[in-house]
Amino acid sequence: MKKLEWQHNNEKVLYFARENIFSYIIKNYNFIFLILWILIFIFFFVYFIEIKKTIFILILMFYVFFSFILFYFFWHKTYFIITNKRVMKYIRNWLFAEHTKELKIAQIGELTVSKKWIISKIFGFWNIKITWQDKECVIWVRWINYSHEVIQYISRLKDYILENPWYDYNKLNPFKLRKERKKNKN
């Protein structure tokens, strides 16, 4: 993986994931409703001005295409990362709005995995809640694959870092699924 702009020299990315696109759509329903309201406004505006239908259809297609490209861009720029030093979630909401939530591995207090909807149970997507020791900072990661294994990995990583403060970060193994680890052992 290429080096990210916020990554320190002695920091190694161990896990990188994005939320499921369906979860992102459900979570950002305000953006979708905004698109629909603007579409309705354009429709009534064109209806009263009496623009040719082909021009109206072209404007409508351009608007829908641009909106979904923008939505995909926001989803693509929202991700969850585990490094040897911290756990962070980078969120891109609008064109100029972005924020990062981050916790140092040694400061992680509680790790929780939960499911809220039947859809998440059917598709195997679970929510991860990571809290700081004093429960002031909470990172929610919604609907990522293999949530239980990710939580176990973070827990083992935290224990290892606390027990070995002078560890060599190059010797840390990136996250691998249990299936892949068993396959490599054979």
Q: Is 16 helix (H, G, I), strand (E, B) or coil?
A: strand
Q: What pLDDT shows up at residue 125?
A: 72
Q: What pLDDT shows up at residue 112?
A: 86
Q: Give the mean pLDDT of 65-70.
A: 79
Instruction: Give the CATH architecture of domain 13-25+75-185.
Output: Roll (2.30)
Note the pTM of the prediction, 2 decimals.
Answer: 0.75
Mind giving me the DSSP string for 109-176? Answer: EEEEEE--SHHHHHHT-EEEEEEETTS--EEEEEEETTHHHHHHHHHHHHHHHHH-TT--GGGPPPP-
Q: What pLDDT shows up at residue 124?
A: 67
> What digits encode the pLDDT tens for the residues 139-158?
888 778 788 888 889 989 99
Residue 186: pLDDT over 80 = no
Q: What pLDDT shows up at residue 119?
A: 66
> What digits encode the pLDDT tens for the residues 83-139?
988 998 888 766 677 778 888 888 898 888 887 667 666 666 778 888 887 777 788
Q: What pLDDT shows up at residue 25?
A: 72
Q: How, if at all, do strands 86-92 and 79-83 pair? A: antiparallel
Report the chain's mean pLDDT, rounded to a whole number. Answer: 79
> What digits encode the pLDDT tens for the residues 10-23?
888 899 888 877 77
Residue 1: pLDDT over 60 = no
Residue 42: pLDDT over 80 = no
Tokens of 106: 């040694």
On whether the CB atoms of residues 110 and 135 are closer than 8 A, the answer is yes
Q: Give the mean pLDDT of 73-85.
A: 86
Q: What is the CA radius of gyration of the chain?
A: 21
Q: How far is CA 68 from CA 2, 46, 73, 75, in A?
A: 27, 22, 8, 10
User: What's at 139, amino acid-wise?
Assistant: I
